[in-house]
Homo-oligomer: A and B are copies of this chain.
Amino acid sequence: MAERASQPVLRLGFIGLGQAMNLILQRPWEIADLPFRFVAGADPRTSARERFEQDFDGRSYATAEELCDSGEVDVVYIATGPELHREHALLAAGSGKHMVVEKPLALTLDECAEMAAAAERHGVLLLAGHTHSFGAPYRRMAEIVHGGELGELVMVNSWMYNEFNVRPWPTAELVSTRGPLLNQGPHQVDIARQIGGGVARSVRAQTFWDPLRGCPGGYSALLQFEGGATASLVLDARGYFDVAELYDWIGEGGQPRDPDRSVTMHQNFQAVAALGPEARERRFQEQKELGRYGAEGASAEQWALWGYSFGQEHHQPFFGLTIASCERGAVRQSADGLYIYDQHQRREVTLGAEPPGRAAELMELYEGVVNGRPLRHDGRWATGTVEVCLAIEESARSGQEVPLTRQPAWAR
- How many of A's residues come within 8 Å of B, CB to CB? 52
B224, A222: Cβ atoms under 8 Å? Answer: no
Return chain B residues, CB-CB under 8 Å to A232: 220, 222, 232, 234
Asked if A241 is at the interface of the complex by the 8 Å CB criterion, the answer is: yes
Q: Chain B residue with minimal CB distance to A159?
A: B157
Q: Which positions 318-332 of chain A face chain B at CB distance < 8 Å?
A: 321, 323, 325, 327-330, 332
Return chain B residues, CB-CB under 8 Å to A240: 325, 328-330, 341-343
Asked if A297 is at the interface of the complex by the 8 Å CB criterion, the answer is: no
Q: How far is the CA of A327 from the CA of B161 in the complex (A)?
A: 14
Q: Chain B residue with minimal CB distance to A212?
A: B343
Q: How far is the CA of A312 from the CA of B109 in the complex (A)?
A: 59
| Nearest 10 pairs of A and B residues by beta carbon | A266-B343, A154-B208, A241-B330, A222-B222, A240-B330, A240-B341, A206-B230, A204-B204, A220-B230, A220-B232
Chain A, residues 115-159, CB within 8 Å of chain B (1/0): the string is 000000000000000000000000000000000000000110101
Return chain B residues, CB-CB under 8 Å to A321: 246
A155, B204: Cβ atoms under 8 Å? Answer: no
Return chain B residues, CB-CB under 8 Å to A329: 240
Q: What is the distance, in angstroms, from A361's C-beta to the closest C-beta of chain B? A: 29
Asked if A270 is at the interface of the complex by the 8 Å CB criterion, the answer is: yes
For the residues of A in contact with B, the DSSP-based class is strand
Given contacts A220-B230, A259-B346, contact A208 B155 (CB under 8 A): yes
B155, A234: Cβ atoms under 8 Å? Answer: yes
Q: How far is the CA of A246 from the CA of B204 in the complex (A)?
A: 27
Q: How far is the CA of A346 from the CA of B241 in the complex (A)?
A: 8
Q: What is the distance, in angstroms, from A188's C-beta to the closest C-beta of chain B? A: 13
Asked if A83 is at the interface of the complex by the 8 Å CB criterion, the answer is: no
Q: Which of A154, A159, A161, A224 has the most CB of B within 10 A?
A: A154
